Structures are given as structure tokens and as C-alpha cells.
Amino acid sequence: MATTTAAQRREQARFEYDAFLRSCPTNQLLDRISDKWVSLVVAALAAGPLRYSDLARKIAGVSPKMLTQTLRSLERDGILTRTVTPSVPVRVDYELTPLGSSLAHLLTAVKAWAETHFDEVHTARERYDTETDAPSAP
Amino acid sequence: MATTTAAQRREQARFEYDAFLRSCPTNQLLDRISDKWVSLVVAALAAGPLRYSDLARKIAGVSPKMLTQTLRSLERDGILTRTVTPSVPVRVDYELTPLGSSLAHLLTAVKAWAETHFDEVHTARERYDTETDAPSAP
DNA sequence: CGGAATCCCATTCGATACTG
DNA sequence: CAGTATCGAATGGGATTCCG
């Protein structure tokens, strides 16, 4: 017996892996800040509160769908607050919470790392491309 | 005239946005470390060099395809080194470079932030779900 | 103005099978 | 052991349209 070993073993491994991820706050939050738009929104709001259309203009390339989706998930996580002012044309402001500010600081650290080591990465990348792309080319 | 305003304007905005991203090292590297598997591989290698199959076992849930793909891109960026020992069964070791170690440190900082603020996020999330999910539910 | 809902395409990812 | 190749499923994300 045990014809199903290989497949089932990975399936079970995957199960345990999922359980691990669920129990690991790091991965949950890493996934959150990993999002392409999240970092841009947080960076845009770091300077101060903005309205929906201001964000759309500042980020410049985001579709309304993704902007709304991103803002909702960030609001849900307590990264920012959404304030509706029921004037005639509705006005909605978004602002970072203290938690959001601390996230902005973290992203600043990431940015610092990226700027510090970008040269190394760039160099390594070019060398790798040269070595693998033209090792035996005429 | 100007029937195409809305769509075309965003298209052009998108173009500029792409140009911005290309010139911004932060986003390039943020995208790299954002990857779900990258962080796991770096974390796994932080303790010391590992062989391919060791990594597959330690990460437990990754397909060979993604593992190889992740390792290649990290090698390309100078995050880790790949050492082939041409013994009878081929042996390949992966090890973090100094650059990779610094990235591991950064991920540690992210992890610290996540663990520090996980409660807040969790609380905010539950509150949000409660408020939006059952305000008028029977 | 600020958003919700729908459609749909492109990329990505995972599982499997095969090779050196 | 350490990959590569291929296929199908899932997902993300953009455009569009309509509501309050």
C-alpha cells in the first residue's frame, strides 16, 4: 500500500503550512504591507490626511476599484480612518491612525534599506545576467 | 469632443506611474521582499546554509517550481549563493550572502513590528467586522 | 463626488510528470 | 537529488457602468 505517499504527503505538509501561517502574525501582516498599493497609499497619507480623489490623483495609475479595495482593507486593520462629511457632494477624508504612522515608519526603514543596497542588487543582477546570458555566445 | 477623457487620462497616468516605479529602487526591492516565498526562504537560510531538499522540507508546502523560481531570483539579486558540488548524486547548497543577511535583519524588524502591533490590528479587524457585519442583521 | 457591481483578460501559482 | 516542462485553476487587477 501507500501508493498515495508523495501526493498526500505534500497535501498534509500544505495543511500544516497553512496552519503555521495562520498562527504567525508576521506573515499575516507581511502579506498586508506586501501589497503593491498599500505601501503607496500609506506613503501618500504619511504627509497628512487626503480625500478620495486626492489619493486617486496622487497615486496616479490606480483604478477606483483597487483604491477602494485597498482603503477598505486598511481601514479594517486600523491603519487608517475613514471620515464621511455628509455635505451636498459627499466628502470623505482618509487619515492614518497612530498604528498607520508606525507602519509608515517601518516602510521608511524598508525604503532606507532599499536605497542603501540598491547598488549591490543592481550590480549582482547585471553580473548574473551577463554570466548566464552569454557564457558561450559567439 | 473629449469623449475619451476619463479612460485616456488614466492610461497616461498609468504610463507616468510605471516610469516612476522603474526609477524608484524602493518599489523594485519592496516588490522583491514582498514575495510570499522570499521571506520564508530568507528566514529558513538565516540559520545557516541548506540544500535544496532541506529547503523544500523546511518550507513544507512549496512546489519545486516556486522554490526554484524563488531561489533563482534571489541568486540573481545577490541575496544568496548557489554552490553545486558535482558528486555522484549532485549536491547543491544555498547560503545567504552578506546582503542577504542584511535583508534577513530587515525582515526581523518587520517581524518585530508585526508581533508588537498584531493585537491592535486584530482588535481593529474584529471591531470592523462586527460593525459592518451585524448592524442591522436579524 | 465617492463608491459598488460586473465583466473579463493576463498573470501567477500549484500539481504533476519527466530528465540529467 | 535537483531540477525543468507543461497544463489547468485561481487570482489580481483594469475597464466599464450605474447608484446615492
3-state secondary structure A25-86: HHHHHHHHHHCHHHHHHHHHHHCCCEEHHHHHHHHCCCCHHHHHHHHHHHHHCCCEEEEEEC
B10 confidence band (pLDDT: 50, 70, 90): low
Side-chain half-sphere exposure of A69, counting CA atoms within 13 A: 9
Whole-model pTM? 0.84
Q: Is the CB of A91 under 7 A from strand C?
A: yes
CA distances from B80 to A124, B21, B56 (A): 10, 25, 16
CB atoms within 10 A of CB B89: 5
On the question of pLDDT at A135 being above 60, the answer is no
A10 confidence band (pLDDT: 50, 70, 90): low
**Are B29 and A124 in contact (CB < 8 Å)?**
no
**Are A125 and B77 in contact (CB < 8 Å)?**
yes
Of residues A14 and B56, which shows the higher confidence score?
B56
Q: Is the CB of B65 under 7 A from strand C?
A: yes
**Are B121 and A59 in contact (CB < 8 Å)?**
no
Q: Is the CB of B71 under 7 A from strand D?
A: yes
On the question of pLDDT at A59 being above 60, the answer is yes
Mean of the pLDDT values across residues A15-31?
Answer: 68
CB B46 within 8 A of CB A93: no
Percent over 70 (pLDDT), chain A: 79
Q: Is the CB of A10 under 7 A from strand C?
A: yes
Give residues with Cβ within 8 angstroms of A76, minimum separation 6: B124, B125, B128, B129
For the stretch B15-35, pLDDT in tens is 666 666 666 777 778 878 888
Of residues B90 and A1, which shows the higher confidence score?
B90
Of residues A119 and B9, which shows the higher confidence score?
A119
Nearest to B124 among A16, A78, A123 (CB): A78
DSSP B92: E
Q: What pLDDT, on the 0 to 100 scale, is given for residue A73?
A: 93
On the question of pLDDT at A110 being above 80, the answer is yes
Q: What pLDDT, on the 0 to 100 scale, is given for residue B16?
A: 60
Which nucleotides of strand D lie under 7 Å from a protein CB?
1-6, 13-17, 20
Q: Which nt sits closest to A89, CA to C1'?
A: C1
CATH topology of domain A31-132: Arc Repressor Mutant, subunit A (1.10.10)
Measure B65 CA to D4 C1' (Å): 9
